[in-house]
C-alpha cells in the first residue's frame, strides 16, 4: 500500500513537470489561431515535433501506470495476477468487496485500521466466527492445495481455523526451552530457577515436570526418559493377582521375569495366560501363551502351581509394558499369577488390578488423585489402612458390597495402603509395590488445551516473535473455499494479514 502511494506521488510529480514543459513550448509557438483551426487532425499530427511525440508517450505511460496501480490496489487478485499468491491484509481499502479473489464476509468483525510497530492492523471486535472467501478469477485445478499464512499481532486469546485450534493464548505462559522444531512453554507460576537439560522436549518435560499436564501442537516421538535412581535388582510383588494385570517396568539391556501360575478350575475350559512385553512406543519384544495345568473341568480345586521364567535380551533403555491377559475360554478369569519377580527396582501397576489376597502398595500425589476399591464377594468385607501424608481407614462394610468406593487424595505427598483381605478391585492410574519402586510414568499429551500446564509449540506451524504471531499451514482449496476464523475473546487480538499461495 505504501509503495503504491509513493509510485503515484512520483507519477504526479512527473506529470506536473511535463505540464510545465508543455507550457513553455506553447509560449514559443507562433501559430495563429486561424491557421490552427484550419488544419485537419492529420495535418496537426504532421506538424508535431519529435519531442512532442515523446511527451505524448510519457502521458500515456503515466496514465496506464497510475491506472494499473489503482486497479491492483482495489483488486489485488485480478486476472493479471499469475503468481498464484492471494492476500488480504488489514491495510486493504475494500476487504469485503466480492469483486476481490480473497475477501472478508463480515465487515463488522474488524475495527478501524491502526498501526502497531509501523504495521497496519485491525482489532477483531467480535467473538462471532467469520469467513475469508476465496473466489479466484481463474480456474483452479481439482484437488488443489495451498500454503496458508495467517498473521496476527498482540495475541491474548485462542484462535481457531476451521474449528481447529491453531494459536493458543500464551498470556499466562512463559517460554522456557527451545529445540530445533519445537518450543516448550509452561505456566508462569510453575517456572523453575534451574532446569535439567535434555535432547528432546519429551525428556526435558519428564526431567523437570513429570506430573504436569501437557498439550502439544507437534507430533511427539515418545522418547524414553532416563531414570536416575534405576538399579538392576530383583523386585518381588508379594501378592496373588486374578485376571488381567498390566505392569510398567523401566529396564536397560535385558529383562528377566519369573512368576507362578495357578489355575482356579472354577469353570469349564482351558485356563491360559498370554504374556506380552512391548516398549513405550508399541514395539513388541515378546509374546507367549502359557497353557492350562491339564485340568479343564470345574472341579473347584486349585490346580498345581506352574513356575515360569522369561528373559529378553538386547533391550534398549526404555519403559516396557508387561501384560498378563486371561484366556477367552471362560466367562471370568479362571487362573491366577503370583510371586512375580522382575530384575528392576522401577515397577508400576497400571490401571485396575485384582489382588486375590492381602496386598500393600504405594503411590505419590502431586495433584489430586482418586483411587477406587470394590469388592463383590459378600463375605469379603474389610478395612483398608491408609498411612503417609494423611492417615485414614477405609471401611468397606456390607453397605459397599458391589459398589465402587473412591478415596480422594488431595494433599501432595506419599501414601501407603495396606489391604489385609484382598478379593477386591483396585482402580488407580499408577501404584507401585513400595516407594522405592515408584517412578513417574511419562505423561501423554492431552487432547484438550483446557488447564494444561505445559504447551509444546511446533515451530514449523507457528512463528512467535514478540507480539507478532504467524501461523503456517497447508490446506485443500477450490473455487469456493471458505476459511472460517474465530477467536474466543473479542478486543484481545489484531488481524494483520491472510495470505494464500497455490501449490
Confirm whether 99 is domain-assigned. Answer: yes
**Is residue 252 domain-shared with residue 370, that is, in the same domain?**
yes
Cα–Cα distance between 431 and 349 in angstroms, integer? 5
Which domain-ending residue is among 397, 422, 437? 437
Are residues 399 and 287 part of one domain? yes
Q: Is 472 found in the same domain as 326?
A: no
What pLDDT was estimated at residue 34?
Answer: 46
State the CATH number of the domain containing residue 138. Answer: 2.60.120
In sequence order, the 6+-apart residues with CB closer than 8 A to the CB of 63 are none
Full-model pTM: 0.73
Specify whether 254 is located in the same domain as 399. Answer: yes
100 SS3 class:
coil
* Predicted pLDDT of residue 93: 82
450 part of a folded domain: no
Domain-ending residue, one of 24, 50, 74? 74
In a domain, 379, yes or no: yes
pLDDT of residue 54: 61
Decide if 479 is inside a domain: yes
The answer to whether residues 11 and 109 belong to one domain is no
Asked if residue 204 is part of any domain, the answer here is: no
Say whether 400 sits in a helix, a strand or coil.
helix
**Is 132 found in the same domain as 62?**
no
Q: Check residue 281 and give its pLDDT.
A: 85
pLDDT score at 3:
40
Q: Are residues 70 and 90 in the same domain?
A: no
- Verify that 43 and 132 share a domain, yes or no: no
328 lies in the same domain as 473: no
Burial class (CB in 10 A: 0-12, 13-18, 19+), 341: middle
Scan for cell 509557438, then name that residue.
29
| Within a domain: 270 | yes
Same domain flag for 58 and 133: no
Cα–Cα distance for residue pair 271/140, rounded to 1 Å: 64
Total tally of structural domains belonging to the chain: 3
- Which residues constitute the domain of residue 131? 85-155+467-502
Is 213 inside a domain boundary? no
- Mean pLDDT per 10-residue section of the chain, whose length is 503 residues: 46 55 49 49 56 61 57 50 80 87 92 93 96 86 89 96 95 96 96 93 91 89 80 96 96 96 87 93 94 78 91 94 91 90 98 96 94 96 97 97 97 96 96 96 82 94 96 90 94 96 90
Q: Which of 386, 450, 446, 388 is nearest to 420 (CA)?
A: 386
Residue 418 and residue 316 share a domain: yes
Distances (CA, A) of 72 to 47, 66, 403: 38, 10, 73
Among 437, 456, 481, the domain-final residue is 437
Residue 226, domain member (yes or no): no
The answer to whether residues 354 and 424 belong to one domain is yes
* Short-list 465, 469, 462, CA closest to 152: 469
Amino acid at each position: 500500500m505504501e509503495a503504491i502511494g509513493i509510485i503515484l506521488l512520483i507519477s504526479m510529480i512527473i506529470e506536473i513537470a511535463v505540464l510545465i514543459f508543455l507550457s513553455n513550448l506553447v509560449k514559443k509557438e507562433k501559430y495563429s489561431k486561424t491557421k490552427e483551426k484550419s488544419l485537419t487532425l492529420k495535418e496537426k499530427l504532421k506538424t508535431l515535433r519529435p519531442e512532442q511525440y515523446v511527451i505524448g508517450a510519457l502521458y500515456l505511460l503515466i496514465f496506464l501506470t497510475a491506472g494499473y496501480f489503482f486497479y491492483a490496489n482495489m483488486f489485488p487478485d485480478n486476472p493479471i495476477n499469475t503468481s498464484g499468491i492471494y492476500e488480504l491484509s488489514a491495510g486493504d481499502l475494500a476487504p469485503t468487496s466480492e469483486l476481490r479473489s480473497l475477501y472478508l464476509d463480515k465487515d463488522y468483525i474488524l475495527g478501524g485500521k491502526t498501526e502497531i510497530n509501523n504495521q497496519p492492523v485491525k482489532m477483531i471486535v467480535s467473538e462471532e466466527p467469520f469467513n475469508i472467501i476465496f473466489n479466484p478469477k481463474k480456474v483452479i485445478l481439482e484437488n488443489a492445495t495451498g500454503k496458508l499464512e495467517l498473521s496476527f499481532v498482540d495475541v491474548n486469546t485462542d484462535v481457531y481455523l476451521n474449528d481447529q485450534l491453531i494459536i493458543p493464548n500464551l498470556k499466562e505462559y512463559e517460554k522456557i526451552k527451545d529445540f530445533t522444531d519445537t518450543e516448550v512453554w509452561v505456566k508462569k507460576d510453575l517456572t523453575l530457577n534451574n532446569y535439567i537439560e535434555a535432547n528432546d522436549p519429551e525428556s526435558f518435560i519428564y526431567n523437570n515436570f513429570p506430573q504436569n499436564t501437557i498439550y502439544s501442537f507437534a507430533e511427539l516421538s515418545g522418547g524414553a526418559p532416563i531414570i536416575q535412581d534405576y538399579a538392576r535388582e530383583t523386585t518381588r510383588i508379594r501378592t496373588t493377582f486374578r485376571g488381567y494385570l498390566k505392569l510398567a517396568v523401566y529396564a536397560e539391556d535385558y529383562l528377566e521375569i519369573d512368576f507362578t501360575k495357578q489355575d482356579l478350575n472354577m469353570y469349564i475350559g482351558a485356563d491360559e495366560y498370554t504374556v506380552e512385553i512391548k516398549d513405550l512406543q508399541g514395539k513388541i519384544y515378546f509374546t507367549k501363551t502359557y497353557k492350562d495345568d491339564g485340568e479343564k473341568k470345574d472341579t473347584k480345586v486349585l490346580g498345581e502351581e506352574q513356575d515360569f521364567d522369561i528373559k529378553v535380551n538386547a533391550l534398549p533403555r526404555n519403559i516396557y509394558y508387561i501384560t498378563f491377559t486371561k484366556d477367552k475360554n471362560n466367562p471370568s478369569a479362571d487362573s491366577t499369577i503370583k510371586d512375580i519377580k522382575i530384575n528392576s527396582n522401577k515397577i508400576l501397576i497400571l490401571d485396575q488390578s485384582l489382588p486375590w489376597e492381602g496386598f500393600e502398595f504405594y503411590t505419590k500425589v502431586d495433584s489430586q488423585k482418586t483411587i477406587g476399591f470394590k469388592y463383590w464377594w459378600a463375605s469379603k468385607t474389610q478395612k483398608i489402612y491408609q498411612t503417609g501424608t494423611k492417615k485414614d481407614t477405609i471401611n468397606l462394610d456390607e453397605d459397599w458390597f458391589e459398589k465402587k468406593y473412591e478415596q480422594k487424595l488431595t494433599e501432595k505427598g506419599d501414601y501407603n495402603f495396606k489391604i489385609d483381605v484382598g478379593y477386591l478391585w483396585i482402580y488407580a492410574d499408577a501404584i507401585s509395590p513400595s516407594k522405592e519402586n515408584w517412578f513417574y510414568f511419562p505423561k501423554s499429551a492431552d487432547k484438550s488445551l483446557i488447564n494444561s500446564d505445559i504447551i509444546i509449540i511446533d515451530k514449523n506451524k507457528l512463528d512467535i516473535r514478540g507480539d507478532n504471531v504467524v501461523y503456517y499451514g497447508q490446506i485443500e482449496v477450490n473455487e469456493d473455499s471458505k476459511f472460517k476464523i474465530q477467536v474466543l475473546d473479542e478486543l484481545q487480538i489484531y488481524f494483520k494479514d491472510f495470505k494464500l499461495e497455490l501449490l
